[in-house]
Amino acid sequence: MPDQKSSGAEFLQPPFLPPAFASALAPSLAYSKAVMSGMSHDDMDAETGTTELMDRASRAFLARLTGGVSPGALVEAYADWLMHLAVLPGKQASLLQNAVRKASRLCRYAMTCATTGATAGGNPDGCIEPMPQDHRFDHESWQTWPFNLYAQSFLLTQQWWSQAMTGVRGVSPHHERIIDFVTRQLLDLAAPSNFPLTNPEVLRKTLDEGGMNLARGWSHLLEDLERLGSKRMPAGRESFLPGKAVAVTPGKVVYRNRLIELIQYEPTTPNAHPEPVLIVPAWIMKYYILDLSPENSLVRYLVGQGFTVFMISWRNPGADDRDLGMDDYRKLGIEAALAAAKEITGSPKVHAAGYCLGGTLLSITAAGLFHRGDESIASLSLFAAQTDFTEAGELTLFIDESEVSFLEDLMWEQGYLDTAQMSGAFQLLRSKDLIWSRIVREYMLGERAPMFDLMAWNADGTRMPYRMHSEYLRQLFLRNDFAEGRYRVDGAVVSIEDITAPVFAVGTEQDHVAPWRSVFKIRHLADSPVTFILTTGGHNAGIVSEPGHKNRHYRILTSPAHNGHLDPEGWIAAAALRDGSWWEAWSAWLAERSGVPGALPPMGKPEAGLEPLCPAPGTYVLMP
């Protein structure tokens, strides 16, 4: 029995657990003991309690093993599918018949290959074609025997499992999406393209080079593992450091607090519009995706169009920032930056633009400001930013009560969600391109993909504080509070309808993070005029779409306030199709809603406590 005056933490000491488990749990238990040591018995029971701390420590340990994926969520989804499939004899019979048909088609294809001389280069028509986005079997060598047979067998198997995982009556849509996605990942692991002996391109290169490609691939693998273990930047990213090759638009940091640095960019025109542009990037990555190389920098483009531009650079949080929440990001981030931009320029209004998560928080901030009668925002521009999360794409696969609570326990122990833990989920969404194709190219073919600015930025992630990310997942992804009118700003319930400023929203055609049909919902949620643009590209490349970029086009349509319903397909039919960059349309849209260009504002305002602190890109963007 422990001493009655003790905190109760003795029950969590490793000797009371199996040695191996206790050793693995040591970091979590140490944190739990530290938390409990400062509590009285009553406080501990009221707030968390010994058992809950132990549960959290155990789940945090398990989360590290699974990469943050909840085993409970997977078991629940597959159990839902299996139990419903077990009582559907018709579905079972259909799947059996389908399997027999596919086996017969594959046998006929194999016989055709043999009789038409496929070994000599014949190319009989296959029995199935890859999906348009699947490029694993594009190389011409996949049309030769026996590799064509490997590819056709895999694709038929993949199609059968997709049919088995979907269309089972009674399975919840969320569970159906989970099992279909996870099963695809498991099948992709076994694709013939992933193994040297069943990949004709790898075999040919190995024969041609006498195995030197494999030697280079082994060297690449060792280098990547060493960089990963020592937490060094990926190979090639040293050529794209902020302030050297990217994020080089001249400017000054004119404001700093514990969460942001505010950059004001130097003008390049003799005069400027009176209303400044404040850009709010996502805090999940570094800000400079909007100030990449000089030729594709949105900031540089805007400055050249006669706008005074301010940019928020978020600080990379650590364990000490675990209790920073959504309100802190709103107040210390957007509201503080708005106040500084107005003070420096003397303009009562600001054009506010937000990208991805930054756009979501900017919408919430704007709703709160307009709700209390503050009309500081002259216009609201949202780039690949969602305000309604009912159709938020494949990211919702990872968002349910089981998964969110699992992530919360992982973040509770660390104080944040790590970059690697986040990037893994994004890579799984495009595993063919971001995982398996890279393994084949770099480790089997021995070919290093050349690093470029957008790829370097993508490898420069940030962490997410425990409290903020928990609030974001629960209030927005899980409960959709903002779109459904339950989100509170400073105690008052706000909604998108509170925003009266004109809205400019951009969606991208191949966005897997913020699908354009989800971004499009702002058109129905806002009561103000909405100009919506649908542009080519994905979540990142579609936004970084500078004038002169080849093969770019976009659709644009402005809807007046209180306009009638128009679904996405109807919008596509009605919108004007234009070639070129949407940046030009946005610049013209901003200019129409801005005053006549006049004298340039000063760089900072020392008398108001906004003295220039250091040159752009500042110090926060350089934090590891």
Indicate the domain borders of the chain: 9-66, 73-209, 252-393+466-622
Q: What is the mean pLDDT of residues 89-102?
A: 95
User: What phi and psi, each to the nearest 5 degrees, are found at residue 354?
Assistant: -130, 140
Q: Give the integer Cα–Cα distance in Å for 251 and 272.
A: 16
User: Average pLDDT of 398-416?
Assistant: 82
- Residue-wise pLDDT for 255-292, tens only, equals 999 999 999 999 999 999 999 999 999 998 899 999 99
3 pLDDT exceeds 50? no
Q: What is the mean pLDDT of residues 613-623?
A: 96
Q: pLDDT tens for residues 343-396?
A: 999 999 999 999 999 999 999 999 999 999 999 999 999 999 999 998 887 777
pLDDT in tens, 59-76: 777 777 777 778 888 899
The pLDDT value given to residue 208? 94
107 is catalytic: no
Tally the C-alpha atoms within 13 A of residue 392's C-alpha that lie toward its C-beta.
23
Identify the pLDDT of residue 429: 65
DSSP per position, 337-355: HHHHHHHHH--S-EEEEEE
Identify the band that residue 30 occupies on the pLDDT scale cut at 50, 70 and 90.
very low
pLDDT in tens, 203-231: 999 999 999 999 999 999 999 888 887 77
Tens-digit pLDDT profile for residues 100-114: 999 999 998 888 887
Give the pLDDT score at 16: 38
The confidence score (pLDDT) of residue 49 equals 64
CATH number of 252-393+466-622: 3.40.50.1820
pLDDT score recorded for residue 69: 78
pLDDT value at residue 424: 61
Q: What whole-number distance in Å separates Cα of residue 18 and Cα of residue 23?
A: 9
Is 490 in contact with 519 (CB distance < 8 Å)? no
In the chain, the amino acid numbered 130 is P
Q: Residues 493, 486: contact at Cβ < 8 Å?
A: yes
Name the amino acid, one letter, at 423: S
Across 290-308, average pLDDT: 96
Give burial (CB, 10 Å; 0-12/13-18/19+) of 466: buried
Q: How confident is the model at residue 232 (pLDDT cuts 50, 70, 90)?
A: confident
CA–CA separation, 264 and 335 (whole Å): 16
Instruction: Give every CB contact of residue 466 below 8 A, 6+ residues apart in sequence.
Output: 322, 323, 408, 411, 412, 414, 415, 416, 417
Q: In what order do the strands lie in the sheet with 277-280?
A: 576-579, 553-559, 530-535, 503-508, 377-383, 350-355, 277-280, 309-314, 260-265, 251-256, 614-615
- Name the average pLDDT for the chain: 87
Q: What is the mean pLDDT of residues 335-341?
A: 97
570 burial via Cβ count (<10 Å: 0-12, 13-18, 19+): exposed
Q: How many residues does the chain have?
A: 624
Task: Please give the model's pTM, rounded to 2 decimal places.
Answer: 0.86
Residue 491: pLDDT band (50, 70, 90) is very high
Cα atoms in the Cβ-side hemisphere of radius 13 Å centred on 411: 29
Q: Kindly name the residue from 107, 113, 127, 356 that is annotated as catalytic.
A: 356
Tokens describing residue 136: 């694993």
| DSSP annotation string for 394-463 | GGGGG-SHHHHHHHHHHHHHHSEE-HHHHHHHHHHHTHIIIIIHHHIIIIIS--PPPP-HHHHHHT-B--
Distance separating alpha carbons of residues 38 and 557, to the nearest angstrom = 59
Q: Which pLDDT score, from 0 to 100, does residue 274 have?
A: 97
Tell me what percent of the residues of the chain surpass a pLDDT of 70. Answer: 88
**Where does the pLDDT of residue 248 fall: very low under 50, low under 70, confident under 90, or very high at 90 and above?**
very high
- For residue 228, the tally of other CB atoms under 10 A from its CB is 11
Percentage above 90 pLDDT, the chain:
64
489 Cβ contact list (under 8 Å, min separation 6):
330, 364, 365, 367, 368, 371
pLDDT at 124 over 70: no
Amino acid at 46: A
